[in-house]
Amino acid sequence: MDTLTGLYGRHSRVLQTAGRGTLVVLLACMPWAMLSPQASPPSHWAGWMHVGAVAMLSVLAYVSFASLWSRAGAVMFVFAYSGLMELLQHFSAGRTGSWEDLGMNGVGVLIGVALVKWAMMRAV
């Protein structure tokens, strides 16, 4: 873990910029994944897909910014954007958004932030 922490410390600007770019690309792909009937996961996997995808996006959002306010804003944006996708699913043929899915997105945000905080505590 010390090697990873040292790498991040020496190259934090480059890694943050790459993280932001990756986050933008993934968020740009999200409408296809959330609104396309062909991309709909099997129902027994849907909840875990929400949690995993939003947790990954939250980790990426958190580590892509330096200040606490920027991190909080980026993570809240990921959650709000996932909520917008749930709303837009009502207008997409073959898809429906739900409060349960939004709740799973919230769980994903909490897990993503907790993972980052846990990794940061272990690095100290």
The token pair that represents 86 in the structure block: 């749930």
Q: For position 15, what pLDDT does the model report?
A: 84
Q: For position 56, what pLDDT does the model report?
A: 94
The backbone torsions φ and ψ at residue 63, rounded to the nearest 5 degrees and listed phi first, read: -80, -10
pTM score, whole prediction:
0.80
Q: At what angle do helices 12-35 and 2-10 cross, to 10 degrees?
A: 100
The backbone torsions φ and ψ at residue 108, rounded to the nearest 5 degrees and listed phi first, read: -60, -40
The tens-digit pLDDT sequence of the chain (124 residues) is 445 455 556 667 888 889 899 999 999 988 887 777 666 666 777 778 889 899 999 999 999 998 899 999 999 999 999 999 889 888 877 777 789 889 999 999 999 999 999 988 887 6
Q: For position 58, what pLDDT does the model report?
A: 96
